[in-house]
Amino acid sequence: MDRAAAQQISEALGVRPYRVQSSDAVPVSRPRFCWSNRALPLLPGVHIVDKGFYLEITARSAYPTVGQWLREDSQWEPTEADTVFPTCMKAIKRTRPPPAPAGLSRTPLDAQERWRADEFRYPPYQYKSQYVIWSPKGWRLLESSERDLLHGYGYEHTAVCWSASEIKRDPVGYEDQRCSLIGDSFSMYSFALFAWASCFRFLPALSYTHLAQRMGMAPGFCAAPDAKCPLHRGLVYGSEHGNPQLVSDLTRALLTRVNHTGSDVRITTGMIMNPKAYPRQSAQADWWEWKHVFSCRWQKAEHINRLEMRSILLAFRWRIEHLLESNVRFVHLTDSYVSMSVIAKGRSSSQMLMSIMRKIAALQFGFSLFPILIHVESTENPTDQASRA
């Protein structure tokens, strides 16, 4: 921020700003001024230096390893060990470069070529070789999932910004939108200092290093203050230490959350809700590990709701024929609210769906199957890609 603009805000508020920088804890820059009407208490590991018109906060923590945030098929090998990614910006696709692009005169020719090839989405200096990531498809910049992690928002935090239909219609625009959301946001590595200061009287003794080790927490999850949730390309609900959890443990936990009508599973994600109204919430497909077991082609074209019901019927038959299941309760994921509701209730006013519902009911009755259907977002559905092959 321009110094004159910062001083104007300071005069209006009557306080000097704190200057924070996320690159003290993660390899991405995000310097920001933060104004507060209260003095920031000193958290262990945090230092404050008077710089005149602002107070500079230094909060250092060891950088996470590259494997904790980088996509598995990619490599980032900067020439200097202390290389830090520039501040993430909004992704704006253009047909021509903007007027007076930032840092163009100091950008090498190879970076300018990458800037043009990427349709001028970001300032040209962001395409320098030290910021480029390589994958089997070629070079790229930080993608949305990596930005989510490096800003402390948790794995795939911005993934739900568009509906599944919008994502399938414009996957490039979806990725640009996710990157832009992070470009407009704060870094939680810096914001955590002020969140801690607002309630430090009610918290146990902590250090900044401990706070930095909680930034991998799954979106919506709330861990105990002493728990660690380090960065990880996956959903993190605590440290890896402790008793291993089995699929049966997860199934049992989900079954305890079935409501009194038996039609929905209530999943707590940390969001504030009306206690008398439980909106449907999706499970995370990453709670399980998946493998492909069967596939088939439809013999004729039918309505999508009917096909969704057929796929569930096939899954139930596979459990009976290959797993030899009977007299069991189990969880089944579906991205179809219609199928979930019809099967949960066991009836429908649609004769088109009831013809398949009767076959499902016959399997349930004959083999004592008690399925609990849980919704999963189409973008996370592990069967979605195979169904479109």
Domain at 243-389: CATH architecture: 2-Layer Sandwich (3.30)
AA identity, residue 388: R
CA 229 vs. chain centroid, Å, equals 14
pLDDT at 135: 94
| φ and ψ of 329, to 5 deg | -105, 140
Hey, what are 382's tokens?
């592990």
pLDDT at 201: 87
Residues in the chain: 389
Task: Look at the pTM and tell me if it is higher than 0.85.
Answer: no
Measured CA to CA, the distance from residue 315 to residue 293 in angstroms comes to 10
Cα 136–Cα 140–Cα 146 angle in degrees, nearest 5? 100
Hey, what are 61's tokens?
């923590």
CA terminus-to-terminus distance, the chain: 50
Closest CA to 163 of 174, 153, 172, 154: 174
pLDDT at 359: 95
Q: Domains of the chain: which residue ranges? A: 66-183, 243-389
Structural contact between residues 53 and 7, judged by C-beta atoms closer than 8 angstroms: yes
218, with CB counted inside 10 A (0-12, 13-18, 19+), is buried
Hey, what are 1's tokens?
């921020």
Measured CA to CA, the distance from residue 336 to residue 330 in angstroms comes to 18
60, with CB counted inside 10 A (0-12, 13-18, 19+), is middle
- Reading the chain (389 residues) residue by residue, the pLDDT tens digits are 889 999 999 999 999 999 999 999 999 999 999 999 888 888 888 999 999 999 999 999 999 999 999 999 999 999 888 899 999 999 999 999 999 898 899 999 999 999 999 999 999 999 999 999 999 999 999 999 999 999 999 999 999 899 888 998 999 999 999 999 999 999 999 999 999 988 888 888 889 999 999 999 988 888 888 889 999 999 888 766 656 677 888 888 777 766 545 444 444 444 444 444 445 567 888 888 888 888 888 888 889 899 999 999 999 999 999 999 999 988 899 988 888 888 888 888 888 999 999 999 999 999 999 988 888 888 888 887 766 65
The CA-based diameter of the chain, rounded to the nearest angstrom, is: 79
Measured CA to CA, the distance from residue 181 to residue 177 in angstroms comes to 6
